[in-house]
Amino acid sequence: MVQVFISHSGKDNDFARDLVSFLEEGGEIKAFVDDHDIRHGENFVSRIESGLQTDAVLVVLSPDALNSQWVHDEWKAAKASSIPLAPVLCRDCTPPKLLSGLHRFDATKNRLDEFPKIKAWLLHLRPHVPPPFHAPARPPLFIGRIAELDALRTRLAEEGSVVPVEGLAGLGKTTLALEFAHRYKRDFEAVYWLQCVGRDLASLASDLASQLGVALEGDLEKILDYLRMECRRKRCLLVLDNVDDERPGQLIPNGRASVLVTTRREYLTFLGHGEPVKPMLFTEEECFALFRRVLGEKELAKSEASAKLLFERLGYLPIAISVAAGLIRHDIHYSIDSLAKKLPPLEKFAFGKDNVGILLKDAIAALGDKERTLLTVMAVCAPDGFRLSLAANVAELPEDTALDALQELKSRSLAEELDRDSLRYRLHALVRAAAEPSDALRLRHAEAVSKLFDSWESNWRERQQDFGDLREAFGWALEGATDKQSWSLGKRLGSKGYSLTRRIGRLAEAYALAERLMRTAEVRGDKDASQVWCGNQALILKAWGRLDEALALHKKEEAICEELGDRDGLQISRGNQALILRRWGRLDEALALHKEEEAICEELGNRDGLQRSYGNQALILKVWGRLDEALALHKKEEAICEQLGDRDSLQRSYGNQALILKIWGRLDDALVLHKKEEAICEELGNREGLAFCYWSMADLARERGDRDEARTRAEAALAVFTELKMPREIEAVKELLQRISTPEPPSP
């Protein structure tokens, strides 16, 4: 919203009120005036001097305003602070000379004509916010393709269109899509880009939700419904890049959105019978244009006939032409003539496939040791993009050295840049295949990724960017799961991925990881892992509200634990079953299970499980109104947490105790506990816990009659819940803010 201050004389209040009412209609402008919007004891001049944020000032001029020292001080302060300023004449007068030369509005004769002009001027001051654009970096070397670009623009201009770009690997499908997205992004309200190769539907849905800036609850089907609805209502472009199966088709929104799909596959069902755009092999002239740009006219003129032969032997395949140009430019062992002679003649209809493999292997062999090492490592990183620092770590290269090596790879068209700011790159599928990395290197990559995710709790935002590498390492480890070391590594990677995605609310991804691990564990006969991942799936089903399915999985988990004699797993399962029964209101049964959980924890000396059981039993007793017993259990929970040094559970215990004290009217004692809770959350960087603490403190301050404190705490809670994208909590705190702002009815 545009913020505007209206300076005026008290004699012009009616005019100012009419102007404010007109400007604020539609919700794009917020106007404030000093007679009711500035708190007692303040004035506009002092607020400007203390850094008032306003986008413009309108000075309502009249004979009375010219005689007002207050108005004079206000517009002079605005002018000195370089705030955009415009006089608005409401009654005939001569504006001061210092206001001459400014944009002026004359509302002395016809307000209905002048007010829209004022509004248009203010809205013009609104900073331009570029539309969302999530495509990777623009290709640095783009040649020709005018017909294909024109075809894409024409067909994607139709709302609801789905246009496939099909063809063999190396034809430049992604490059064409990238050039289109960058060149014509202004045709759309937003551009969303999903790298689909090697990814499941849950991870694609999570990525699209992140690009849309929404946090979604519910299972995958509900998330897909919401994403399609969100995209179909806007004029956006959704690019599904490198699609290799039918799953991404479930993201097609229709409606106003257009979808561009790049794929090597023909006859994907979700594409229907629409005619694909098929990038052709380069023409000879396009090959010459690329060589001319990389090698220069002088070099090309010396070997024009050999260049024609080279193009023919590479089958005019765009990626091959690019790599050949880079190889000739950067390696003295190669020239146009020598490379043309080295490659054998093509078999009919081979389209350069064999020669391209020879060329790529030659291009890799011609690299220096560091460049070749880095490229081979990049071939085991995530196909949809990876961070250079990770590749450098696996390659055991200092980052500066890796940057120098990367520059060589880019200049030879062997590596593609996705995002320079975050140093994210990828390799073309043909280059990945030609690199032929060993299993030993894949193992080293998987171990490095596992170590990288050890600290995900303290830097989860960064680790989200590396999740493609976790998926790649996890998939490789599970495929080699006949090997005990690989299976153990796969479980570690899966556990870290599950914990991260569950914590940040990407539950569909977490569920997919848990389901895959459970299936693999069952195939391997690993009952310990089976019961763990059975239980983890149940936790997500519970979060989705699918309680019957969750309970069935917990029962399966319980049976495996009893078969194995796993008492610790058994108490966890019974505790989780109790939470479901509590949700159903079956509190007696829930308490009985928590008592069984408590007994097993005491038998095993499991203090952590014991404090958790005490806390959950206390919550049931609180519902029953047995507050003394509930508080006693929370005190036991608190004591164990202090013994274990479990600060996170301790802050939760303090918060729950404070809620009981609040019910008893011991508001000061409750506030003391909330302060302790707040301090621990700040110490741990627990943003979610802090938001819940702020929420409770806001409600407590409201009970104490301190509306300013209540509003401050509620706004802090709202800010954190918004940051964490927690929609239910956002709405609940907004309701609390509404109650805080609503005056209490007078006492009878």
- Does position 493 have pLDDT exceeding 90, yes or no? yes
Q: How far is CA 372 from CA 319, 329, 388, in A?
A: 19, 17, 15
Average pLDDT over residues 419-434: 87
Q: Strand 258-263 relative to strand 162-166: parallel, antiparallel, unpaired? A: parallel
Contact in structure between 453 and 468 (CB atoms under 8 Å):
no
Burial 628-641 (b: 16+ CB within 10 A, else e): eebbebbebbbebb
d(CA 579, CA 597): 12
Average pLDDT over residues 444-452: 95
Contact in structure between 653 and 631 (CB atoms under 8 Å):
no
Query: What tokens does 497 get?
Result: 């991925």
Nearest-Å Rg of the Cα atoms of the chain is: 33
Contact in structure between 75 and 23 (CB atoms under 8 Å):
no
Query: What tokens does 46 get?
Result: 């002092």
pTM score, whole prediction: 0.72
Tell me the three state secondary structure of residue 746. Answer: coil
pLDDT in tens, 656-686: 999 999 999 999 999 999 999 999 999 988 8
Contact in structure between 158 and 255 (CB atoms under 8 Å):
no
Contact in structure between 192 and 212 (CB atoms under 8 Å):
yes
Q: pLDDT at position 51, please? A: 37
In the block, residue with structure tokens 């009120």: 17
Query: What tokens does 14 get?
Result: 């009616």
Query: What tokens does 195 get?
Result: 């790298």
Residue 290, CA atoms < 13 Å, CB-side half-sphere: 28
- Does position 589 have pLDDT exceeding 80, yes or no? yes
- Phi-psi region for residue 642, left (φ > 0), alpha (ψ -120 to 50) or beta? alpha
pLDDT in tens, 228-271: 999 998 999 999 999 999 999 999 998 999 999 999 988 888 88
* Start-to-end C-alpha separation, the chain: 42
Helix (H) or strand (E) holding 728: helix 727-741
Contact in structure between 543 and 511 (CB atoms under 8 Å):
no
Q: pLDDT at position 349, please? A: 39
- Does position 351 have pLDDT exceeding 60, yes or no? no
Q: pLDDT at position 39, please? A: 39
pLDDT in tens, 615-662: 999 999 999 999 999 999 999 999 999 999 999 999 999 999 999 999
Domains of the chain: 2-124 (3.40.50.10140), 146-271 (3.40.50.300), 284-424 (no CATH), 521-709 (1.25.40.10)
- Does position 4 have pLDDT exceeding 60, yes or no? yes
Tell me the three state secondary structure of residue 94. Answer: coil
Q: How far is CA 179 from CA 14, 30, 184, 692, in A?
A: 56, 40, 8, 46
Q: How far is CA 365 from CA 297, 357, 361, 407, in A?
A: 27, 12, 6, 17
The counts of H helices and E strands in the chain are 35, 12
DSSP string, 242-297: EE-SSGGGGG---TT-EEEEEES-S--GGGTTPPPB-PPPPPHHHHHHHHHHHH-H
Nearest to residue 29, comparing CAs of 143, 121, 129?
121
Residue 132 DSSP class:
P
Q: Which residues contact 680 (CB under 8 A, 6 or more apart)?
A: 647, 648, 650, 651, 654, 686, 689
Q: pLDDT at position 485, please? A: 87
pLDDT in tens, 265-312: 888 888 877 789 999 899 999 999 999 989 888 888 888 899 999 998
In the block, residue with structure tokens 């290799």: 244
Q: Strand 416-419 relative to strand 424-426: parallel, antiparallel, unpaired? A: antiparallel
State the chain's mean pLDDT as an integer. 88
Nearest to residue 579, comparing CAs of 620, 534, 544?
620
Select the highest-mean-pLDDT range: 69-73, 183-187, 385-389, 550-554.
Answer: 550-554
